[in-house]
Structure 1
Amino acid sequence: GTLTEGGMEVVGVNTHHPAQLGAAGDNWVVQLAALVERTAKSRHPIADAICLFASSSGRVDFPEVTRVQEKEGYGIECFLGDRHVMIGSRTWMSAAGLLDGEELVKEVESERGGCTTVCVCVERRLVGTIMLADPVRTDAANLVHSLGRLGVKVMLVSGDNKETCEYIGHQVGIPRDEIFSNVLPRDKAHVIALLQDKGFKVAMVGDGINDSVALAQANVGIALGRGADVALEAADVVLVRNELSAILTAMDLSRCIVRRIKLNYCWAMGYNLIVLPLAAGALYPSTRVALPPAVAGLCMA
């Protein structure tokens, strides 16, 4: 959402074992996912995209969704009637042993193309996958290049999978060794803390709920104007324009202000060291020359 447009949309749906729920077609996979997301009251962009896509499709009657648990950074676990349901990332499903070799290869290939894959599992079997895409911002590559020219090291820290992160990193010019993928929200702050321990001054740019802790941890937290309220609260700088180029403007402005402060400080110190002693009569003992009281008072004003 920071390097991309932030408008995720469903670009594909695959159905596996449709008889699992006694229905056929891709629609029930999306409708099931949307029902769970709505029940969990998720505010994640992926949830919004799935619900929007489902609203344009035919409704499907499902049993009541109960015992909803949101797994931070992974997905949602619940029960559909008496059936156990898991909806979330490929990493989560793979770690739980729910993807076989062929299914895993398919999901990885989709993610290498820049898609984010949401897996839908019922009774510990994969019943469907939803592919979502979020195009890279047109000014993202220029931002990374410009920051590099300024001597700023750019890193990508994301909760997305490795393949998607590397695809986006390649698009904008971030090397693979500067990409951290599958990072949980709480671990983003840990990555920043490690960089700070090495002596780096870290600026974090984010716009989502999952970025709030990292924004607070960074030396400078920068939030985009359209970001979540909690991100705006945690950030030190809020960019009114929802454009990445505004980061360069903010940096240039801040550096200009710091230079002006230093210049004013040097001017004030020079003035105080030279003019104030003269006004106080520092030369009078040796030269018997003193400034007129009116001039001395003006110098001290």
Structure 2
Amino acid sequence: MASINVSSIYTSVFILEGVPGFESSHVWISIPIFIMYVIAVLGNLLMLLLVMVASRLHSPMYYFLCTLSLTDLVLSSSIALKMLCIFWLNHKVISFLSCLVQMFFIHCFTSLESGVLLAMAFDRYIAICNPFHYVSTLTNTFIGKIVIALVIRGTIIVTPCPWMASRLPYCQSHQIPHAYCDHMAVVKLACTDTTINSAYGLTVVLIVIVFDISCIAISYVLILRAVLSLSSKSAKNKAFGTCTSHICIILMFYTLGLFSFLTYRIGHIPPYIHVILSNLYLLIPPALNPIIYGVKTQEIRTAAVHLIRRTAT
């Protein structure tokens, strides 16, 4: 590998195939992709606007929700815009550097989304298990430190992926059987041993998903124990209600993520299945997050109604 001209690798290009085997149906496939992206953009922008203009939403839970909305906007835009260029304009070419940048943003913000879900679980734990210390614990400064720590975590653990991918020689096919520059999809094109790259990618997944899921599970076990100890039925219902939307989003995000990840490790899976699962994993949560929170959270519904009335008048 020492004889490889790195500069020539950086100026090379890749070809994103979209959904392998369904090239003739790309226009039809683009319709749900476009709809989900529009919903994700409008829904998350509305969520950010509501939190900014409604003083009743100026609390830790909604600050974390704003962070989730910003993450979803970046994550969905990182893949949807290029995918629509592929499906609508047949513009499949992507430069090597752009591919690495897209790879970084996708995996970094996926890590950040998982971290925000963990932070929101911690928020619910404090709110239900230690309500008298809620305001004093989750101060604006502490929330800012949590978000910064999550960004740093994502950056540190994800940066080696595109860096190591940039050092590989790609002397065979430059056609990526995917709709975006997924780490493993790119690495598999290298004409050298990629065991280290694959192992590091697996390590990142284990660090992020296993750690975050474990901490979230512990938080909700403690929350469930605290809720069941409440004597008032109305108090139990209110506590369960505040967690329902978050649990729905957690189940949706990690279920799709695990399916997408496992299809790389399970043999005899048609490439188009993995591509479709990967697209759903990165587009469905950003589209449904603001809808689920909007439906399940009374404060958000009330703020939305007030905003609509204020705009109408």
Higher relative contact order (CA 8 A, sep 6+): 2
Q: Determine which structure has the larger strand proportion and give its number.
A: 1
The answer to whether the superposition gives a TM-score over 0.5 is no
Q: TM-score range by the shorter chain?
A: under 0.3
Query: Which of 1 and 2 has greater Rg?
Result: 1
TM-score by length of 2: 0.25
